[in-house]
Amino acid sequence: ETGRGRLVDPQVAFYMAEKAIYQPKSLSGLRVLVTAGPTREWIDPVRYISNPSSGKMGYSVAYVASLMGAHVDLVSGPVNLAPPVGVKLYKVETTSEMFDMVLELFPEAHITVKSAAVSDFKPSFTSSSKIKKEGLSQLTIELAKNPDILLELGRRKRQEQVLVGFALETEDIFKNAYKKLKEKGADFIVVNEASVGFGGEENEVAFVYPSGVVRFLPRFHKKKVAEEILKEANGIRIGRCY
């Protein structure tokens, strides 16, 4: 129903109340770009390559950035999450689609948080019809590299922009995260083990900086992790602007 007397959607009402009391409002007037979720790379019309990312971390970053006063653009792969209130959502499916959308939005962003768990590879060929198992003892799928979103953003980043990357590692966690940081040109990397964070409401991460310093965070709800990421990114931005 519409018209005078209609109740406000409960999610919107909760968001409005939370935003009214939320502190700090340190991102007021800023534009924040966030990527979230997995991507899908199709093998045929019914099969694809992907990963178990839920998108919750990225959605938390987008939502909290909005509470902190930012205009937020969220580029999301396929997830089973409600669109965050107060955020402009762009839905994509493949890594190439996310690449194109992010590059379009990036020039206006003051802070970019690339938390999406994109597929690094895609099938070199996608079958237009379902691949049948009859007559096949095995199936070999040739993979090609997808465009590297974080690397391209690092190349394009202006001095006043802040770029935050994510690294999900299974071994040599901080060594690999530091290598990624230096190669991609991010301002810091949020790193966690593959065994932590996927699908849950909490996350345990560390921030890795170009100096080699590592800042460990306790296990927090993902909204609290999001707040720490955004506060750190904005602190870097302020340090460059003044």
What is residue 240's predicted lDDT score, i.e. its pLDDT? 81
Query: How do residues 167-211 score in pLDDT, each as one tens digit?
Result: 998 899 999 999 999 999 999 999 988 766 567 899 999 999 999
Which candidate, 112, 32, 35, places its Cα nearest to that of 77? Answer: 35
Which residue in 51, 80, 192, 203 is the catalytic one?
51
pLDDT in tens, 42-70: 999 999 999 999 999 999 999 999 999 99
Domain count, the chain: 1
Instruction: Tell whether 72 is covered by a domain.
Output: yes
Whether residue 165 lies inside any domain: the answer is yes
Q: What is the DSSP string of 193-212?
A: ETTSSTTSSEE--EEE-TTS
Question: 62 or 3: whose pLDDT is higher?
Answer: 62
Q: Would you say 161 and 153 are in contact if contact means Cβ atoms under 8 Å apart? A: no
Measured CA distances, 130 to 42, 65, 95, 139, 143 (Å) = 11, 42, 22, 13, 18
Residue 3: how many CB atoms within 10 A of its CB?
5
Q: 49 in a domain, yes or no?
A: yes
Residue 76 lies in a domain: yes
For residues 100-129, average pLDDT: 98
Measured between alpha carbons, how far is 176 from 195 in angstroms, rounded to an integer? Answer: 16
Domain assignment of residue 155, given as a range? 10-241
**Per-residue pLDDT tens digits for 209-236:** 999 999 999 999 999 999 999 999 999 9
225 falls within a domain? yes
pLDDT at 6: 63
- Pull the structure tokens for residue 160: 């006043």
Q: Say what the pLDDT of residue 156 is.
A: 98
Alpha-carbon Rg for the chain in angstroms: 19
Task: Determine the pLDDT at residue 5.
Answer: 58
- When the pLDDT of each residue in the chain is averaged and rounded to a whole number, the result is 93
- Establish whether 51 is a catalytic residue: yes
pLDDT at 20: 84
Structural domain includes residue 52: yes
Separation between Cα atoms, residue 189 and residue 104, nearest integer Å: 23
- Do 29 and 234 meet the contact criterion of CB atoms below 8 Å apart? no
5 lies in some domain: no
The reported pLDDT for the residue numbered 88 is 98
Note the pLDDT of residue 12. 87
* Listed residue (236, 242, 231, 241) closest to 70, CA to CA: 231
Residue 162 parent element (H or E): strand 162-169
Say if strands 71-76 and 31-36 run parallel, antiparallel, or are unpaired: parallel
Is there a domain that residue 4 lies in?
no
CATH number, position 148: 3.40.50.10300
Please report the pLDDT score of residue 3 as a whole number.
Answer: 56
